[in-house]
């Protein structure tokens, strides 16, 4: 059992996924009403850390990139993690250096810590001072404990995002899903449909979740997204679909998803939705 952060984004180390990380962070910033200049500093520092994973962690191969966000009193902590070759130093006249990326990060964060992971890889832990504690405090919660989830293999095109509490998903999930819909080459109308599904999920999921966190794994293929949503309580997957009314639009999930299925996992269920653009 491991304690989950407020947001855990698990993707491959492809360059296109750095944009996904930035969109997730922008959603978090919106939720805590973060100042624009503070957000720019966070985006710049985290982008540098993610680019290092993209370029160097796996020596040209593909591997996992994990980004965690944790809200604490007066601070926002972001961890960028890989499972590659570890921290690499460069030789300079003044001694070993981690390169210009770390220099940029150090200039923008309140505190930074780099760790070699004992099982391989690197962890860059960055802490940013956050002044707007009222909005931040409303999104703090006791650490959620959940069984460790199996990671998709490097060749898998799956993005997994885990969010707690559910209120945070209201600003994070639509940004993540619309970015993935654009990556799947959805039309503008179908991207709008994806946003409606995201809105319906975050509005109605609190009544259906088996815990206080929401986990969605998304497989991306040309013209197709497949969403695996959980952990939902027993019998709650069909209830989530049936109760997905949104702003007088009727059952949004039922109307807009091309396919729905439910799978059981112990006391919990996973709802799978397929969204296809057939233009």
Query: Of 87-96, 146-155, 204-213, 216-225, where does mean pLDDT reach its minimum?
Result: 146-155
Residue 235 makes CB contacts below 8 A (sequence gap 6+) with: 269
Q: 149, 174, 209 — which closes off a domain?
A: 149
169, 127: one domain? no
5, 117: one domain? yes
Domain that holds residue 14: 1-149
Q: 149, 172, 198 — which closes off a domain?
A: 149
140, 8: one domain? yes
| Residue 235: C-alpha distances to residues 73, 211, 223, 226, 265 (Å) | 37, 14, 30, 21, 12
Q: 101, 132, 149 — which closes off a domain?
A: 149
124, 191: one domain? no
pLDDT in tens, 8-27: 999 999 999 999 999 999 99
Cβ atoms 217, 169 nearer than 8 A: no
116, 203: one domain? no
Cis peptide before 165 (omega within 30 of 0): yes
Question: Please, which pLDDT band fits residue 145 given cuts at 50, 70 and 90?
Answer: very low
145, 162: one domain? no
Cα dihedral 144, 146, 148, 154, rounded to 10, equals -60
Cβ atoms 250, 244 nearer than 8 A: no
- The mean pLDDT value for 90-102 works out to 51
Cβ atoms 128, 104 nearer than 8 A: no
37, 95: one domain? yes
User: Greatest CA span in the chain, whole angstroms?
Assistant: 67
Instruction: Please tell me which residue, 110 or 89, carries the higher pLDDT value.
Output: 110
* pLDDT over threshold 50, residue 195: yes
117, 142: one domain? yes
Cis peptide before 101 (omega within 30 of 0): no
pLDDT in tens, 199-257: 999 888 877 776 678 899 999 999 999 999 988 888 888 888 888 888 778 899 999 99
145, 161: one domain? no
83, 163: one domain? no
| Residue 205: C-alpha distances to residues 18, 40, 184, 278 (Å) | 27, 31, 25, 28
pLDDT in tens, 110-134: 999 988 888 889 999 999 998 765 5
pLDDT in tens, 267-278: 788 999 999 998
- The whole-number pLDDT of residue 132 equals 64
The residue among 228, 167, 177, 200 whose CA lies nearest residue 23 is 177
Give me the number of domains the chain comprises. Answer: 2
189, 97: one domain? no
Looking at residue 247, which CATH number applies to its domain?
3.30.565.10
Q: How many residues does the chain have?
A: 279
Question: Please, which pLDDT band fits residue 88 given cuts at 50, 70 and 90?
Answer: low
Query: Of 29-33, 49-53, 138-142, 167-171, where does mean pLDDT reach its minimum?
Result: 138-142
pLDDT in tens, 32-77: 889 898 999 999 999 999 998 998 889 889 999 999 999 987 889 9
258, 274: one domain? yes
């Amino acid at each position: 059992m491991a304690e989950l952060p407020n947001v855990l984004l698990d993707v491959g180390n492809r360059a296109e996924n750095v944009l996904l990380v930035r969109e997730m962070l922008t959603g978090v910033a919106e939720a805590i009403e973060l100042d624009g200049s503070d957000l720019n500093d966070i985006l710049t520092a985290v982008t540098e850390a993610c680019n290092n994973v993209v370029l160097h962690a796996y020596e040209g191969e593909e591997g996992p990139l994990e980004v965690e966000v944790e809200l604490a009193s007066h601070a926002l902590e972001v961890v960028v993690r890989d499972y590659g070759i570890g921290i690499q130093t460069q030789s300079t006249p003044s001694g070993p250096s981690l390169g210009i990326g770390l220099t940029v990060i150090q200039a923008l964060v309140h505190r930074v810590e780099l760790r070699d992971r004992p099982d391989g890889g690197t962890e860059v832990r960055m802490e940013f001072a956050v002044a707007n504690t009222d909005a931040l405090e409303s999104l703090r919660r006791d650490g959620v404990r959940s069984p460790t989830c199996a990671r998709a293999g490097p060749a898998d095109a799956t993005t997994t995002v885990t969010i707690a509490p559910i209120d945070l998903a209201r600003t994070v999930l639509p940004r993540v899903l619309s970015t993935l819909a654009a990556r799947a080459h959805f039309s503008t109308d179908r991207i709008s449909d994806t946003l409606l599904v995201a809105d319906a999920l975050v509005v109605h999921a609190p009544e259906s979740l088996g815990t206080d966190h929401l986990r969605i794994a998304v497989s991306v293929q040309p013209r197709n997204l497949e969403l695996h949503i959980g952990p939902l309580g027993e019998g709650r997957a069909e209830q989530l679909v049936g109760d997905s009314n949104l702003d007088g639009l009727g059952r949004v999930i039922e109307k807009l998803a091309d396919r729905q299925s439910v799978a059981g996992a112990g006391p919990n269920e996973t709802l799978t939705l397929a969204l296809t653009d057939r233009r």
